[in-house]
Structure 1
Amino acid sequence: MRLRRQATMFKDTAVESLTLSIELFNRPSALARDHAVVMMLAHSFEMLLKASIYQHRGSVRDKGDQLSHSLARCLEISLADLGTITSEEKALLTAIKQDRDAATHDTIMMSDDLLWLHMRAGITVFRRLLQDEFDVDLANVLPNRVIPVSAAPPADLHELVEQELETVRSLLAKGKRRTAEAAARLRPLLSLDGSATGRSDRPTDAEVQRAERALRGNAPWQAILPGLATLQIGTAAPGGDAQEVVLKIGKDKGAIPVRRAASGEEAEALAHRGVSPFEEYSVKLSSFGEKLGLSRHEGYALIETLALKGDDRAYFVKRTANGGVIYQGLSARALELGRKALQDPSMDLQTIVQQYQQARSRKKGSRKR
């Protein structure tokens, strides 16, 4: 395989960042260990995914964007467009991304077992991607002696979660005054929980506090972290070392069904994960076409054809009491739906534009009457 020059640079940087992440994990000093490990681990995956995307597409920017893809965007492209990662791998990498965000903007604390699980599961994904996408064996660029090893690696994720939450409960006990430490330990768990349910942003302070209240109320952890209840530790594919693991999304008998909260239900959820609609639905309708390589008018036509305004995961509108529009926007899901539609051979852009124009003309005519 002949690699593009930029893809090679991304790939080499990814290996360097992974190596540094492992060195930070293995070093005897605990100084800034949790924060530094997840920061470099997340950077290694952003670089590796960009290497893959650049090799496939020759670009790591969406049309109309000035900056290269974020890690979240890389994950979307790799799963939905290129199919280079699985949904289970995306869940893990999203959790690592959220941990990176929390470590950058807040504080996190992880037990050795939880940090090791992130590292080893991450290395499993990295190793497969490097082999499948670039025909490079990780063992040839990363000596086994630097691989993080645990004397007693955790085999049951749910048992590990229970141990973590027991520590958090002890920190929240009356008279302890250690809520800051409890919050730092909860953030990685909430990140992993959110990633299993499709969240890509870090947990907010309000969400951490809601989880703390639920723990003080002795709520079952499966109700507090329903996404985590769907995850399991599995063995890696043949060819890895003895301690290589993967995270799998399964249906545990103790798992609680997870769904998107309806309006007004947020306060009732034990660990509801919310996100600002202005961040999630940040794509203006007028720029939708441009981001897909279309004209503004073609973008509007595609919005109508795909009925995006009827999909609450793709479209958001905030109105006044009288029904006037204060804000409306589209999400990353809308862009993905648009890209998939344009790749469909049966999609005739000229026809849908004509239909859109005819529908607008009929609407204007009915208003005049």
Structure 2
Amino acid sequence: MSEWEMYKDKSEDSLVLVVEFFNRPHDTGRLSSVLLHLNHSIEMLLKSILLRHDYGIRKENGHTIDLGKCLKVLEGGTADKPQLDLISEEEKTTLGEIATHRNEAMHGNAVIGEQLLYAYTRSGLSIIDSLLNEVYDESLDDILPNRVLPISGSPLKHLDIIYQEEADKIQQLLDEGARGAARARARAIELSDRTQRGEEDPPTDSELDDILDQIDADDDFEDIFPGVSKLRFDIQGEGPTIKLQFTQSDGHPVHHVSEEDEVEEYAIGFREVNPFDRYSLGVYELADKIEEKYDGDKHVTRDTVWAIVRKIDVHGNEEYHKKLNTPYGGLSDRYSHKAISRVIEAIESGEVEPKVAWETHGYS
């Protein structure tokens, strides 16, 4: 057996383990195992391809080249081996993203949501299938029956909806005081975002805390994560044989519309959003978050925050406030997380003095 065949066999062995771990009936070690074996399968296949084309994969010190070098050679080929131009720039980025998440699974702590794990797994398998077909005239069908390939338990959603739901989950964790768990989920998105922007260094805890503060302030997702916010899925086929690829989007971004907004005719899909998700804070919850920042300074209390939101027109502005029907009947004043940053900005800039706000807009 030739060396390239040995590497190909190792790739196929890991591929079988990817499917086994993805489809296992419990979550113990599942995320890390899928990423580790998927990345290993990809690296072994790429090295097999290089060896088959007589491209040496061992360096002078005896170590083999790393995955990054394999990707660099196979995206564009070399001067004397142009036939090695076998993967696109987008495929190279996707495989690099999978490797980044594998490294974090091996050495750190990041949490990837189920739909994103499915997307990475299926996109990796799609690239493997394409390379098997082009180089070896084979396909995944020759290694695994379609019935065992990873299948999502729920319909695959638009990618930016998946990322927005990840951000919503992070916000929920922050509201519950689980900052460590929120940081782990934010790290996974930021790792992908940096790969898309061509950055190699992982985020520091301080940088992640800044991201969490932006999410908590309800900043726009595309401002926080500009790299992944432009991604979309390119999907071919359906069911077990689906081929999925991450691509850069040049279409219209997803945006929220209110009930009163006129929906344009070219809209291709809608996501029904629970208004209590967007306006998640009661007035006391809003006040407590702002009061927590000042810890008694500047006369920031529940009462003065109540007055401030009226003085600076946060109350009554749909960007920050809305009256919602509660499940128990009646209307409730609800505020978005943007209201927190708006009130703090007004206090810090001197636009409003809490004591003066209470005198002019407090309870009569």
TM-score by length of 1: 0.63
Which residues in structure 2 correspond to 1:139-158 (within 5 Å)? 139-158=141-160
Give the whole-Å Cα distance in 1 for the aligned partners of 2:168 and 2:91: 28
Pairing 1:1-369 to 2, within 5 Å after superposition: 5-62=2-59, 64-81=60-77, 82-173=84-175, 176-236=176-236, 241-254=240-253
User: 2: distance between equivalents of 1:27 and 1:248?
Assistant: 29
Task: Give yes or no for contact 2:147–2:240 (8 Å, CA) kept in 1.
Answer: no
- Structure 2 letter corresponding to 1:117: A
Kept in 2, the 8 Å contact 1:113–1:153? The answer is no
1:132 to partner: Cα distance: 0.8
Whichever residue aligns with residue 46 of structure 1, its letter is E
Counterpart-to-counterpart distance in 2, 1:129 and 1:37: 20
Give the whole-Å Cα distance in 2 for the aligned partners of 1:240 and 1:152. 11
Q: CA deviation at 1:41?
A: 0.7
CA distance in 2 between counterparts of 1:157 and 1:27 reads 25
Q: Give me the whole-angstrom Cα distance separating, in 1, the residues matched to 2:72 and 2:204.
A: 22
1:268-322 superposed Cα distances (whole Å, 9 cap, x missing partner): xxxxxxxxxxxxxxxxxxxxxxxxxxxxxxxxxxxxxxxxxxxxxxxxxxxxxxx
2: CA distance, partners of 1:160 / 1:129: 28
User: For residues 200 and 89 of structure 1, do their structure 2 counterparts lie closer, same or farther at Cα, with a shift above 3 Å needed?
Assistant: farther
Deviations 1:312-359 (A, max 9, x none): xxxxxxxxxxxxxxxxxxxxxxxxxxxxxxxxxxxxxxxxxxxxxxxx
* Alpha-carbon displacement from aligned partner over 1:94-153 (angstroms, at most 9, x marks no partner): 110010111111112222211111111111111101111121121011111220112323
Q: Retained in 1: the 8 A contact 2:11–2:41?
A: yes
What is the CA–CA distance in structure 2 between the aligned matches of 1:204 and 1:80, rounded to whole Å?
A: 33
Distance 1:54 1:208, change over 3 A: farther
Give the unaligned 5+ runs of structure 2.
78-83, 255-364
Is the 1:99–1:202 Cα contact (8 Å) retained in structure 2?
no
- Equivalent position SS for 1:76: helix
Pairwise CA distance, 1:217: 2.1
Report if the CA contact (8 A) 1:102-1:187 is conserved: no
Larger radius of gyration: 2
Larger deviation, residues 83-92 vs 194-203: 194-203
One-letter code aligned to 1:70: D
Deviation, structure 1 residue 213:
2.1
Question: Shift of the alpha carbon at 1:250?
Answer: 2.5
CA change 1:91–1:58 in 2 (3 A) is: closer
2:349 counterpart residue number: none
* Structure 2 CA distance for partners of 1:27 and 1:240, relative to 1, 3 Å: closer
Q: CA deviation at 1:188?
A: 2.2
Cα 1:200–1:128 change in 2 (3 A) is: farther
Contact 1:101 1:202 (8 Å CA) reproduced = no
Q: Does the C-alpha gap of structure 1 residues 250 and 181 become closer, same or farther in structure 2, counting only changes over 3 Å?
A: same
Preserved CA contact (<8 Å) 2:173 2:179: yes
Give 1:244's aligned amino acid. Answer: K
SS at match of 1:195: helix
Q: Partners in 1 of 2:200 and 2:10 — Cα distance?
A: 24
CA distance in 1, matches of 2:10, 2:62: 22
RMSD: 2.1
| TM-superposed deviation, 1:179 | 1.6
Between the two proteins, what is the percent identity of the paired residues? 29
How much has 1:241 moved relative to structure 2? Answer: 4.9
Query: In the alignment, is the contact (CA less than 8 A) between 1:21 and 1:36 conserved in 2?
Result: yes
Write the letter of the residue equivalent to 1:101.
Answer: N
Kept after mapping to 2: 8 A contact 1:234/1:248 = yes
Aligned residues of 1:171 and 1:181 also touching (Cα < 8 A): yes
Equivalent pairs counted in the alignment come to 248
What amino acid does structure 1 have at the position aligned with 2:117? L
Structure 1 residues 19 and 224: alpha-carbon distance in aligned structure 2, compared to 1, 3 A threshold: same
CA contact (8 A) 2:190 2:225 kept: yes
Equivalent position SS for 2:76: helix
1:155 deviates by 3.4
Higher relative contact order (CA 8 A, sep 6+): 1
Q: Letter of the aligned partner of 2:219 in structure 1?
A: A
Q: Report the secondary structure of 2:172's partner residue.
A: helix
